[in-house]
Amino acid sequence: MKRFILDWGLILGGISILFTVILYGLGTEYMVNWKVGLTVLAVFIAALVYAGLRFRKKINGGYLKYWEAFRLVFFLMIASTIVSSLFSLLMSTVIDPELPQKMKEATIQATISSMEYWGAPQDVIDRTIDKMQNEPTGFTMEKLLWGILNTLIFASILSLILSLFIRKKRPVFEDQPLDTNTPA
């Protein structure tokens, strides 16, 4: 299972990196767009399910207990998150050090648009934007710890759900030969 998690963690992390690069090329407004985020999440979930079913079929003989499926999906998510997080760190410190500020500005614009669309009073919009503008931009230890905690919680919940679709119980009588000489 470890080798499979490593291989597929790299593949899923690579998919995440590919989406990041494409969205970066399109513009930071796409990187903070909730519809785009949901689309990327749907693709990631589909890839997780595919990886889980592939493991069950090719590696585990077609069967996988629920908690084995949970462990598989959870560690796939952790491995892919590590890969994509390392790329994000590289992206925001080496490739484009201005990216965190650009994303903050794009997030503020998206928040303003959303709040205006939903009819929020201007004073509420102003307070929200002031609070957002005063948040530190870039890497902090607090953000790192909250990010790890959020990832663990999200990975746990998603793994609990996806494991329901990936598991497959071994039939009770599969390996037992039928004894036709036993009286009924």
| Residue bearing the bigger pLDDT, 161 or 180 | 161
Length of the chain equals 184
User: Is the confidence at residue 17, as pLDDT, over 70?
Assistant: yes
Instruction: Output phi, psi for 25, to 5 deg.
Output: -65, -35
Q: Which amino acid is at 57?
A: K
DSSP state of 120: -
- pLDDT single digits (tens) 118-160: 898 999 999 999 998 888 777 677 877 888 889 999 999 999 9
- pLDDT single digits (tens) 21-65: 999 999 999 998 989 999 999 999 999 999 999 999 988 788 899
- pLDDT single digits (tens) 78-97: 999 999 988 988 998 899 99
Residue 8 confidence (pLDDT):
94
Q: Which amino acid is at 102?
A: K
Pair 180, 98: CB distance under 8 Å: no
Residue 60 confidence (pLDDT):
74
- Residue 177 CB: number of other CB atoms within 10 A? 6
Mean pLDDT estimate for the chain: 88
149 three-class SS: helix
Residue 21 confidence (pLDDT):
95
Sign of the alpha-carbon dihedral angle for 125, 128, 131, 132: negative
Q: Which amino acid is at 172?
A: V
Residue 137 confidence (pLDDT):
78
63: alpha, beta or left? (left if phi > 0; alpha if psi -120 to 50):
beta
The pTM for the full model equals 0.80
